[in-house]
Amino acid sequence: MTTDFRSLELSRTLVEVTAELGYLTMTDIQARSIPVLLAGKDLVAQSRTGSGKTAAFALPILQALELSPRVPKALVLCPTRELGAQVAREIRKLGRKHEGLRVLVLGGGESRYLQERSLRQGAHVLVGTPGRVRDHLERGSLDLSALRTVVLDEADRMLEMGFEADMQAILSAVPTPRQLAFFSATFPSSIEAMSARYQASPERVTVETQEAERSEIRHLVAIVEGEQRLSALLGALEAHPHESALVFANFKASVASLQQALSSAGLSVGALHGDLEQHERDRVMAKFRNGSTRILVATDVAARGIDVQGLDLVINYELPKQPATYVHRVGRTGRAGKTGIAISLLTSREQGKLAGIEALLGSPLERASSLIPERGRDRQPAARPAPEREARMDTLKIFGGRKQKVRPGDLLGALTGEAGGLQGSDVGKIEIHDNFSYVAVSRAVSAEALKSLIEGRIKGRKFRVTLEP
């Protein structure tokens, strides 16, 4: 099978963009899915998170896109606003030479009024959560009459979150003929039933086998008693060097207590749970993506859609109820040919949960007895020293974003130009949102960077700038 993007029936513009972005060789999901979608067929694609599936559906969408009139031609449904924002960024990146392209995110946590105003201004591609998209449909603020393509990204997760009725309502409102693509890590009977109802003779693609998953991820499990669990977590974080680690807990209360305990131990940690306001979620995720926060503690619901490049370590502080959820959790590490580590902590009474996980993986999990602390040792998390490697970056928030015409180059120039005086190596990841931006800077020069932006100008304008806690 040819894996060169130049072999695809893509426009010259898209071929140029993929080359500029370094997308020279297709992943398995791209090589097998893109030709199907370019041919206009419905698709059922099974592939885990991090396999390159966003480009697999974004490129065919952009290939078929007509920019006039400015009405929705494609809709991508995602389980969370965070994933929707990531998908939208990827579509904008791939479509950067489509002059006038407008991609709009419709998710919870943002003003319906502002979204309605944006919809009135028009958009070519919509990316949204099922609940909010359905809400706009019922309010009459969203017209799907020109829609030609619908993608369900992480379809199994949307069903797990209770979005089935919303998904069905949306699909029933999409006119025919249309192209419908399902992308999912697993395909339970509920998705099979939805496919049979709404798709027309779909092509089926399955990539990244269980064997491949095992080769990329080292699965470890430690049996600990309840009072040892926190100490074992600290031991796991120390024993396995990491730039970024994701820790899963099953309840919001557990997330809050873990954040406090790990912070007390001197660790760089953030928390993600359902009680956070959207702007706080954006801040937490920006800091985790750019390396200002080394460890993120999250529930499954809050973490859905998280896609962080270079995630080294996933720890299940508490095992999930369903084996498929375990696969979703740990699938965020061990990507791009790198080996990731997944560690699970459980008591002896919970060992029955392992059977389903090991059956799904097709092999037993490796026992990590070295993580078990000696009796009575290190019961107090603060007694354990912090790791030598702390977060090397701080995050600055600039109260200007995409709607204020702020671009990454503007921020980089303000920081590294004559007025800023920073080296390019001092500046990390830059994220541009609608009305604000985040930029990571080396912790050693963050105070200097903050001062230069406060006193200086960006694109000839003054913007409020803060150092994020």
- The predicted-structure confidence for 166-177, as pLDDT tens digits, reads as follows 999 999 999 999
> With 80 as the cut, is the pLDDT of residue 143 above it?
yes
> With 90 as the cut, is the pLDDT of residue 321 above it?
no
pLDDT grade for 1, boundaries at 50, 70 and 90: low
Instruction: Give pLDDT, residue 300.
Output: 82
Q: Residues 264-277: what's their mean pLDDT?
A: 87
Instruction: Give pLDDT, residue 336.
Output: 56
Tell me which fold the domain 5-206 belongs to: Rossmann fold (3.40.50)
Closest CA to 246 of 223, 262, 224: 262
Provide the angle, in degrees to the nearest 10, between the axes of the packed helices 164-173 and 189-198.
10
Four-way CATH pick for 393-467: 3.60.15.10, 3.30.70.330, 3.40.50.2300, 1.20.1370.20: 3.30.70.330
Is residue 291 within 8 A of residue 392, CB to CB? The reply is yes
Task: Give Dmax (Cα) for the chain.
Answer: 69
d(CA 156, CA 154): 6
In the chain, % of residues over pLDDT 70: 89
Is residue 447 within 8 A of residue 394, CB to CB? The reply is no
Q: Which residues contact residue 92 at a Cβ distance below 8 angstroms, ignoring those fewer than 6 apart?
A: 101, 103
Is residue 284 within 8 A of residue 293, CB to CB? The reply is yes
Tokens of 4: 């060169």
CA dist 189 → 8, 46, 184, 200, 360 (Å): 33, 14, 13, 18, 16
Tokens of 240: 């396995």
CA triple 32-37-42, angle to 5 deg: 105
Tens digit of each residue's pLDDT (9 = 90 or more) over 401-457: 988 988 888 888 888 876 677 887 888 888 888 899 999 999 999 999 999 899 888
Is residue 14 within 8 A of residue 94, CB to CB? The reply is yes
pLDDT grade for 161, boundaries at 50, 70 and 90: low
Tell me which fold the domain 210-383 belongs to: Rossmann fold (3.40.50)
Instruction: Give pLDDT, residue 329.
Output: 85
Burial label for 389, CB within 10 Å (0-12, 13-18, 19+), is exposed
Query: Would 5-206 and 393-467 be classified into the same CATH topology?
Result: no
Is residue 40 within 8 A of residue 140, CB to CB? The reply is no
Q: Where are the domains of the chain?
A: 5-206, 210-383, 393-467
Instruction: Give pLDDT, residue 386.
Output: 46
Phi, psi of 74 (to 5 degrees): -140, 145
> With 90 as the cut, is the pLDDT of residue 277 above it?
no
Burial label for 43, CB within 10 Å (0-12, 13-18, 19+), is buried
> With 50 as the cut, is the pLDDT of residue 360 above it?
yes
> With 90 as the cut, is the pLDDT of residue 241 above it?
no
Provide the angle, in degrees to the nearest 10, between the axes of the packed helices 81-94 and 53-64.
50
Start-to-end CA distance of the chain, whole Å, equals 49
Instruction: Give pLDDT, residue 384.
Output: 44
Tokens of 158: 């949307």
Q: Residues 353-379: what's their mean pLDDT?
A: 68
DSSP state of 401: -
pLDDT grade for 305, boundaries at 50, 70 and 90: low
Q: Among all chains, which residue has been given the structure tokens 């990539």?
A: 207
> With 60 as the cut, is the pLDDT of residue 188 above it?
yes
Instruction: Give pLDDT, residue 399.
Output: 95
Q: What is the pTM of this model?
A: 0.61
Q: Residues 5-26: what's their mean pLDDT?
A: 86
Residue 184 or 208, more confident: 184
